[in-house]
């Protein structure tokens, strides 16, 4: 319902931005994608710390699920940003600080996912992946403040250099907030689904091992 409301607001309720025209409406889903991607990567770092501290598999699985869902949304951030850039900047990509740090974030979590997949059930591999997940999360605040720290052509929509935000109409703010709520719910749902499959996989693997032992014992009788 929230997603339907967000789509209605993006296409029918919010006024068209004067300078950029209709293509500015990409922003209402581009920013929420970034928000949930950052939330996902933050969760990877928190889960990584808890896994290293407590050593419980549940935190490793939660970190893995959060990284995977976060990657989906980070990929969407890069794609939608590129589609917006073409008519506004005239290029699909430029090595701007915001774009570059976001691409770096995508590569770091791509590395985390590859490492985590290769680690399979090895505790050492999972611990190493947790460390990578924590270190990679340090790039999230860099992405957020990059428009304030360096010279950039990326619009500082949420936090401008002068403070405040770059949205001129209150309807734009409302639309963005509704879209962010819709994406937060979508993110939580996908995370829950993926986390549940990982936990189920772990349980099935444990049961398979126990059953193999029981079968071997039954043959020995």
Partner 1 sequence: MENFGYLFAAYTIIFAVIFIYVMFIWRRQQRLEEDLRGLSRRVDEVDRKAAIKSAS
| Residue 39 vs 134, nearer CB to partner 1 | 39
Could you tell me which stretch among 41-49, 54-62, 138-146, 188-196 binds partner 1 (CB under 8 A)? 188-196
The answer to whether 126 and 60 have CB atoms below 8 angstroms apart is: yes
Question: What is the spatial distance between Cα 104 and Cα 213, in angstroms, rounded to a whole number?
Answer: 46
CB of 149 to partner 1, least distance (A): 27
Q: Which residue, 138 or 209, is less far from partner 1 as judged by CB?
A: 209
| Interaction mask 100-139, partner 1, x per CB under 8 A | ----------------------------------------
User: CA angle 68-6-71, nearest 5°?
Assistant: 10
By CB under 8 A, tell whether 201 contacts partner 1. yes
Q: Which of 8, 53, 79, 122 binds partner 1 (CB under 8 A)?
A: 79
Nearest to partner 1 of 153, 211 (CB atom):
211
22 or 107: whose CB is closer to partner 1?
Answer: 22
Stretch 80-99 residues interacting with partner 1 (CB under 8 A)? 80, 83-84, 86-87
The distance of closest approach from Cβ of residue 207 to partner 1 in the complex, given in angstroms and rounded to an integer, is: 6
Q: Provide the mask over 202-221, with x wherever binding to partner 1 is found by CB under 8 A and - wherever it is not.
A: --x--xx--x--xx--x--x
Q: How far apart are CA 36 and CA 40, in angstroms?
A: 6
Region binding partner 1 by CB under 8 A among candidate stretches 107-115, 119-127, 159-167, 187-195: 187-195
Site for partner 1 in 23-62 (CB under 8 A): 23, 25-26, 29-30, 33
How far does CA 2 lie from the centroid of its chain? 19
């Amino acid at each position: 319902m929230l997603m339907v409301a967000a789509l209605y607001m993006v296409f029918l309720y919010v006024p068209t931005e004067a300078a950029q025209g209709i293509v500015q409406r990409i922003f209402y889903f581009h920013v929420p994608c970034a928000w949930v991607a950052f939330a996902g990567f933050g969760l990877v770092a928190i889960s990584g710390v808890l896994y290293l501290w407590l050593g419980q598999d549940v935190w490793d699985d939660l970190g893995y699920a959060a990284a995977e869902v976060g990657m989906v949304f980070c990929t969407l951030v890069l794609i939608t940003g590129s589609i917006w850039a073409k008519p506004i900047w005239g290029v699909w990509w430029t090595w701007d600080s915001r774009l570059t740090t976001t691409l770096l974030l995508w590569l770091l979590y791509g590395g985390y996912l590859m490492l985590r997949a290769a680690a399979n059930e090895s505790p050492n591999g999972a611990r190493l992946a947790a460390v990578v997940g924590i270190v990679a999360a340090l790039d999230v605040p860099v992405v957020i403040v990059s428009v304030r720290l360096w010279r950039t052509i990326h619009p500082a929509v949420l936090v401008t250099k002068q403070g405040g935000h770059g949205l001129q109409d209150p309807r734009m703010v409302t639309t963005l907030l509704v879209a962010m709520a819709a994406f937060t719910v979508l993110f939580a749902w996908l995370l829950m689904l993926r986390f549940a499959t990982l936990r189920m996989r772990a349980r099935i693997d444990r049961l398979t091992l126990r059953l193999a032992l029981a079968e071997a014992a039954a043959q020995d009788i």
